[in-house]
Amino acid sequence: MGASAGIVAPAIGFTCILIAIASYPAFSWTNNALSDLGIIPGITGPLFNFGLVASGLLSFNFAIFGLFTYLGKSGVGKIGSAFFAAATVALIAIGVFNESFSPTHYLVSVAFFVLAPISLFITTCAFWLSHQRGMAVFTVAVGVAAALPWLLLFAFNYVPNVAVPEFVSGLAVSAWAIVLGKKMLKP
């Protein structure tokens, strides 16, 4: 069940995010944060927040019953799984504590986008130590892809708001969860 949750969570999360974007024509990739959608009345806000909470709950399941089981034989694997689980709790909190809950929303958003790449870098070590070199290389590449949009934003301020780095970072982590979920399901 945990491995399947890693595949399903991103599909639900990104489907809800993209439908929320489509339902709100004023959304701007450069001038908004994705979380701005969470306080829009009508279907937009509830759909966006539901997507984050649902995908966060499924991702937590993936972290505990998938990743921890898969990598939990080593201490590094347990730590990486715990960091990923913490990132998923932060994702749930982003949907529960939308932008109306300041500064909580900001803090849980930062927590998610910091904890997710850190969990990937720790998990890279677990894959490397268990001689899964291909997964180690893939995981570190995804960790870099998840962190890089934020590092570039702070270094070059390439967009006035954060929707682009949020989307790219979330997409990278989601791709990793899908690939690993599929790997876990193989006999």
Query: Which residue, among 87, 145, 113, has the nearest Cα to 35 in the 3D structure?
Result: 113
Say if CB 127 and CB 136 are below 8 A apart.
yes
Query: Which residue, among 38, 4, 2, has the nearest Cα to 21 in the 3D structure?
Result: 38
pLDDT band at 187 (very low <50, low <70, confident <90, very high): confident
Dump the DSSP string for 157-184: --SSSSHHHHHHHHHHHHHHHHHHHHHH
pLDDT in tens, 112-146: 999 999 999 999 999 999 999 999 999 999 999 99
The predicted pLDDT at position 72 comes to: 81
- High-pLDDT (> 90) share of the chain, %: 98
Average pLDDT, stretch 58-75?
Answer: 95
Average pLDDT, stretch 74-90?
Answer: 97
Residue 180 pLDDT more than 90? yes
Rounded to two decimals, the pTM is 0.96
